[in-house]
Chain A
Amino acid sequence: MYIKKIVLKNFKSFNKKVEIPFFKGFTVISGPNGSGKSNIVDAILFCLGLTPSTRYLRADRVGDLIYSGNGKLGEAEVTVIFDNDGEEIKITRKIKRTSKGNYTYNYLNGKSVNLAEIQRLLQNFGIYSDAYNVVMQGDVTRIAEMTPFQRRKIIDDIAGISEFDEKKAKAIEELEAVRENIERINTILIEVSNQLEQLKADREEALRYKSLIEEKELNLKYLKINKFLSLNRRKRMIKRDIENLEMRKDKILKEIIDINSKLNELNTKADEISAEIYRLADESYKTIQNEIIEISSKREGLKSSIEMKKKEIKDIEDEKTKLLVSISKLKEEVSKVEEELQKFSIQKMSVQEVLDDLESKKSLIISKLNLMDSAYSELRDQLLKKKEILDELKERKSSKVNERDRLLEVIRRIGMEIEDIEGEIETLRKESITLNEELKELNKKYKEVEKELEAAIKRRNEADNKIFSIRNQISSLEEEKKNLEVELSKIKAQLSLLESSFSKAVELILEAKSRKAMPGVFGTVSQLCEVDEKFAVALEVSAGNSLQYLVVENEDDAIRCIKYLKQIDGGRATFIPLNKIKKNFGDIKLDRSVLKEKGVIDYAINLIKCEKKFKPVFNFVYRDTLVVEDIDTAKRLMDGRRIVTLDGDIVERAGTISGGSKQKSKGILATKELFEKEKKLEEEITVIESRKAEMLGNLRLVEEERRIHQSNVEEINSRLSELSSKISVAESKLRDNENRIEELKEKLTYKQKERAEIYERMSGVEEEIEKIDEEIRKISGEIEEIEAKMRGSEIPALTRKLEEIKEEIDRNSRAMYSITKNLENSEFKLQQLKDLVLEKEIKIDELDRKIENLKKEIENDSQLYSELGERLITLKEKEKEVGESVKDLRDKRSKLLAEIKKLEKDRDEKRFEVTGIEETIKAKEESLKDIEEQIRELGEIEYDEEEVQNIPRMEHVKRRLEEIELELKKFGDVNLKAIQDYEEVKARKEELMSKKLTLEKERSEILEKIERYEKMKRDTFFETFNAINMHFKEIISKLAEGEGELYLDNADDPFNSGLYMRVRVRDKPIQKIESMSGGEKSLVALSLIFAIQKFKPAPFYAFDEVDMFLDGINVEKVAKLISERSKNAQFIVVSLRKPMLEKADSIVGVTLSKDNSSTVTGIKMKA
C-alpha cells in the first residue's frame, strides 16, 4: 500500500486545487524555503489525523490551516488517496470557518465518518500517530537532545508496555480496596465482640422475663380458650338471624320482580302511547296541518282565480261590446259603401250609354271618312295609323296611369294598414310595459311575501323545535331526578348502616342533635374528618373505638348528654370536650427524621383532613401513631413506637403486634363525605323539580306562540297564492301581447315589403308613362304634319270631330275607368270592411268561446272550491279529533306514568327494604366477621378436651396474671430482644470472620497478578529493546562507517534506567551521543528512528528536512539508505539538499507563483 495522490484545496499556502501524484519508492519535495513544501507533509498529517494537535502543523487554531489569502473562502480540504494493491482508499478531511467557529469533517471513500474510524483503519495498515512514520526535523533534534531516561521512554512507547502499567495500576487499586475492607472488618469484629459481652447479661434477664411471659401467655391462652368458646356460641346465634333475614329478602325480591315485570308492561304501553302521541302529534298532526295549509292555500288560489276569471270575463265582455260597436260602425260604413257602389254602378251605366252612343257616332264618322277622298286615303291611312298608334299610346298611357293610380291607392291603403298595425303594436307595447312593471311589482311583492312566509314558517318551526326540545328536556330531567333519587336512597341506606354501626347511645345523641335538641354537639370523631381511601383501613384500625367518641364544645355539653342518656337509659358514650382537649393536645411533637426511612408513609395525624379547631381531637386520637407500608417496615422501626400498616396490622408501643387477614374499610371515616353527598343530592333534586316546573310553563308559552305563528303562516300563504294567480294572469296577458306583437310585426314587415314592391312597380309604370308621353309627343308631331298636308278637305273636320268623339270617348272611358276604379275601390273597401267585420265577428266568437271556457273553469273551480271546503272541514274535524285523541292519549299516558311512579316508589321502598335487610345482613356478617376476626385474632389455639377440663377457674387465672404482672413490673426495661440480638450478634461475628478470610485470600491473588504484569512488562520491553538495538547496530555501521549500540545504565532495573547510545564514527574513538557534534548527533538520532521504523514497519514514511544539519557526505549516506529501504516502503522526503534530490526517483518542486501562493511542478529522475 502507498500514497498514490494528494489533493490540496485552499490548504495553508495552496490557494487553488492542486493534485500531486506520488509513486512507490523515493520521492523528494524541494523548493526555496517558505514556498510551502512542508505544507504538503502537514497536509498528510492533518488529513490522516496523525498529530494530536494543530500546533504540530505550525498553526495555532485549525482555522489557520485555511489559505488566508483570499479571506472570503472559509473552507479548506485535503484528500489522500492510497493504492492498496489496486484498491483505492480515499481519505478526505475538510475545515469550515463559520461565524460560530471552525468545524472539521472527515470522509472515507466519500462517506462521512469520524476521525477515530479513519485512525482505526490506518492502524490496520501499521500507520500510528506516535509510530515515527512521519518524522519532522524537530523529532531528530528532540531525540538527539533528550535525556537517556526520556529516550528509554521511546522504547517503552514502541513496546506498548503502558498497557501493563495500566493493568498494574488497576491491580494496585484493587489491592488497596481489599486492604481497606480487611481493616474495616477488623474494627467491626472488635465492636461486635464487645457487644456480645454486653448482651450476655441482658440475655439472662430476658430469659427470666420470658418464662414469666410464657406463664402469662398460658394463662392468657386459658382466657383465650374461654373467649373462643363464648365467641363461637355468639357466632351460631348470628348465623341463625342471617338465615331468617335471607328468607325475608328472597320473598321481597320476588315481589320486586313481579313489580318490575308489571313496570315493563306499563312502560312499553306508555312508550307505545308516546309513540302514538308522537305519531299523531307529530306525524299525522303535521300531515293534517300541512294538508290544511295546502288546501286553504289552494282554496285561496281558487277563490282569487275565480275572481280573476270573472274579471277577465268582464274585460272580455267589454272588449266584445267594443267590437260590437265597431262592427255596427263598420256596418254603417258598409251600407255607405254599398250606397256608393250603387251610385257608381248607376254612373257606370250612364257613362256606358254615353260611350255606346259615342262609339256609334265614331263608327259613323269613320265610315264617312272612308267614303271620302281617296286621295287622302294614304295620308288618312297614315294619319289613322298614327292616330291609332296615338290612341294606342294614349290607351296604354291611360292604362298605365290607371295602374299607377291603382298602385297609389294600394300604397295608400297599405300605408293605412301599416299605420293601424304600428298603432296597435304601440298600444300593445305600452300595455306590455305597464304589464311588465305591474309584473315586476307583483314579483317583487311575491318575493317579499315569500320571505315573510319563510320567516313565519321558520318561526313556527322554531317554536315546534322549542316544544320538542322542552319536552325532551322535561323527560331527561325526570330521568335525572329518578337516578338521583335512587342514589340518594343508597346513601341514606349507607348512612343508616353507619349510624347503626355506632353504639345505641351515640345514635341517640346524633338523633337528638339532628333534632337540634342537643346544642354543642359537633358529631362523632369519624364524622368530623375526611381521609384518603388508601389510608382508611390504617386510620380506622389505629383509632379503634375512639372514632365513636362524640366531640362536644365543652364539659357542660358532655355532662348534659350523659344526663340525657341516663334519663332515657340510652347506654353509655364517650365525649371529647374541645376546650379541655385543646390544652393537652393542642400541639404534639413528632420526630420527623423517621419519615425518611424507607416504607414510612407519614404520621396518622398528618393523613387526616379536618377543620383546624378539631385538630386537637385527632392529636388525642392518633398522637404519634406512624403509618407504614408493610409489616416488615413496622418490624424494623418498632422499638418504642406505635405503628400501623396500610393493611391494618398494628404494633403497640409495648411491643405487641396484632394483624392478619386484610382488613376492609368499614367506611366509618367517610361519614362526613356521605352527609355532604346526601345534602348535595337533595339540593340537586329540588333544583331539578323547580327547573321542570319552569319548563312546563315555558312549554305552554311556546305552544301558544306556535299557534300564532301557524295562523300567521296561513294568512301569508293566502296572500301569496292571490299574488301568484295575479302574476300568472299578467304573465299570460303579457304572453298574448307579445305573441300578438310578433304577429303584427310579421304582418308589418309583410305589408312594408308589399308596399316597397308596389312602389317599385309604380316607378316602373311612371317610367313607362314618360316613354309613352315621349312617343305621343312624337306621333302628335307627325300627325300635325300629316294634318297640315290634309288641310282643305273635310277630312280634317271629320277627323277633328272624330278626334273630339275619341276624346269624348277617351274622357268617358277615363270617367268609366275612374268609376270602375271607384267601384273597384268601393268593392275592395267593402270587402275590407266586410273582412274586418268578419274578423271582428270571428274575434267575438273567439271571445264568446273564451267566456264560455272561463265560465266552465269558474264552474269547475267553484266546484273544486266547495269540495276542498268540505275536505277542509273534515280535516279540521280530524285535527280536532287528533287533538282530542292526543289529549286522551296524554291523559292515559300520565295516568300510566302515575301508576308507574307509584309502582316504582313501591319497588324502591321494597328495594330500600332489601338494601336495609342486606345492610343488616352485612352488618351481621360484619359482626360475624368481627367475631371470626376475634376468633382468628385469638389465633390458633391448640387445645384438647382434656385441657379444657384442666382450665382453672377464671378468677385464679386472673389473679395469677396479676402476680405475674407485678413481678414483671419489677423488671423495668427488659431488653427481650437481647435473646434474639445475642443470637444475631453471634451469627454476625461468625459471618465477619469468614468474610475476613476470603478478603485475605483475594489480597494474595492480587499480589501474584501484579508480579505477573511486572514480568510481562519487562520481557516485552527487552524484546523490543533488543530488536531495535539490532537494527540500530546495522544502520549505524552503514551511516557512521563504524559501529554503535544502545545500552541501559541499569539493565536489572530497566524502568529506572536511561537509554544511552555509544557510536564509533569511522576511525574516531567510541563516543556517547551526548559528546558528539550536531551533525553526528542528528545521524545517530536518525539511525535510532530508522531502527524503530524497521522494528515497526509502515507502508509509507515522510521526513521533513531531517538532513538539515548533516554534512554533505552524511546526507548522501542517509539518501542512499532511504533509497535502499524505499524498495519495500514509500518514502516522501522534504529536503533542500542536492545529494538527497540526486538519489530521488522523482522530485516535487514547490515554489511561489505570481500571487504568492504555492505552485507545484514535478520531474521524474528514473526512467
Chain B
Amino acid sequence: VREVEDPLKVPHEENIEETLIRIEAELLKYFRIKDAILFSELVGMKERKEKVTYFLSILHLAYRKIIELRQERIFEEDIEIRLIR
C-alpha cells in the first residue's frame, strides 16, 4: 500500500491550510454548544464552490483526527460531524 504522504504536498489551487483553520474555528464554535453538527447545517445554502471547500476541509480535519465523520448510508443520509476530545 502506498506510503502515506503529507496531504498538503500536492499542488492545490489555494492554500488549504488557511481554509482548514477558518473552518475548524467555525466548528469549535458549534461544538461549544453541542456535541455534533450535521454537514447540511454547516454549509446551509452556501454556493457549490463553498460546499466543495467545506467538504474537502472536513475530510482533512478527520484525517488529522480532530473531528470524526459518520454517515451510515452514503449519500442517503446527512453527514454527522463530532469533535474528537
Contacts and interface: CB of A to CB of B under 8 A. Distances in A.
Interface of A: 12-13, 19-21, 30-35, 38, 58-59, 64, 68, 1108, 1112, 1136-1139, 1141-1142, 1146-1154, 1159-1165
A1164 B72 CA distance: 15
A162 to B, nearest CB: 33
Contact of B59 (A12, A19, A35, A1146): A35
A30 B62 CA distance: 13
Given A34-B3, A1108-B10, A1162-B75, 17 more contacts: A21-B76, A31-B59, A31-B63, A33-B6, A33-B9, A34-B2, A34-B7, A35-B7, A59-B1, A1141-B52, A1147-B52, A1148-B74, A1149-B59, A1153-B69, A1161-B69, A1161-B79, A1165-B51
Given A58-B1, A1154-B68, A1159 B62 contact: yes
A1108 B12 CA distance: 10
Interface in B20-78: 39, 48-49, 51-53, 55-56, 58-60, 62-63, 65, 68-69, 71, 73-76
Contact of A1153 (B1, B58, B60, B62): B62
A1150 B55 CA distance: 10
Contacts of B1: 12-13, 58-59, 64, 68
B11 to A, nearest CB: 8
Q: Which of A20, A1141, A1165 has the most CB of B within 10 A?
A: A1141
Given A21-B75, A1165-B51, A1151 B59 contact: yes
Contacts of B17: none
Contacts of A1147: 52, 55
Q: Give chain A's interface secondary structure class.
A: mixed
15 contacts: A19-B74, A21-B74, A32-B7, A32-B63, A35-B63, A58-B2, A1137-B13, A1138-B53, A1141-B52, A1149-B56, A1153-B68, A1154-B68, A1154-B84, A1161-B79, A1165-B48
A1160 B74 contact: yes
A68 B1 CA distance: 10
A136 B60 CA distance: 23
B71 A1161 contact: yes
Contact of A1138 (B6, B56, B63, B75): B56
B44 to A, nearest CB: 14
Nearest to B7: A32
Contacts of A19: 73-74
A978 to B, nearest CB: 85
A1108 B9 CA distance: 12
A753 to B, nearest CB: 98
A1154 B65 contact: yes
B5 interface: yes
Nearest to A32: B7
A865 to B, nearest CB: 113
Contacts of B73: 19
Interface size class of B (residues with CB under 8 A): 35 or more
A32 B58 CA distance: 10
Contacts of B71: 1160-1162
A1138 B9 CA distance: 15
A57 B3 CA distance: 14
Contacts of B12: 1136-1138
Contacts of B76: 21
A1162 B69 contact: no
> Which of A33, A59, A64, A1154 gathers the greatest number of chain B CB atoms within 10 Å?
A33
Contacts of A1160: 71, 74
Given A33-B4, A1162-B75, A1151 B39 contact: no
A686 B31 CA distance: 121
A29 to B, nearest CB: 11
Contacts of B62: 1151-1153, 1159
A530 B49 CA distance: 108
Contacts of A1164: 75
A1165 B54 CA distance: 13
B13 A32 contact: no
Q: Which of B39, B48, B58 has the most C-beta atoms of chain A within 10 angstroms of its own C-beta?
A: B48
B2 A20 contact: no
B52 A33 contact: no
Nearest to A1140: B52
- Top 7 closest pairs, chain A to chain B, by CB: A34-B4, A32-B7, A1162-B74, A32-B63, A1151-B62, A1162-B75, A1151-B59
Contacts of A1108: 10-11
Nearest to B65: A1154
B74 A20 contact: yes
A1141 B53 CA distance: 9
Nearest to B4: A34
Contacts of B13: 1112, 1137-1139
Contacts of A1159: 62, 69
A1035 B78 CA distance: 38
Contacts of A1151: 59-60, 62-63, 69
A1162 B56 CA distance: 11
B84 A1136 contact: no
Nearest to A59: B1
Contacts of B79: 1161, 1163
A35 B2 CA distance: 10
Nearest to A1141: B52
A30 B2 contact: no
A391 B7 CA distance: 147
Contacts of A1162: 71, 74-75
Contacts of B74: 19-21, 1148, 1160-1162
Contacts of B68: 1153-1154
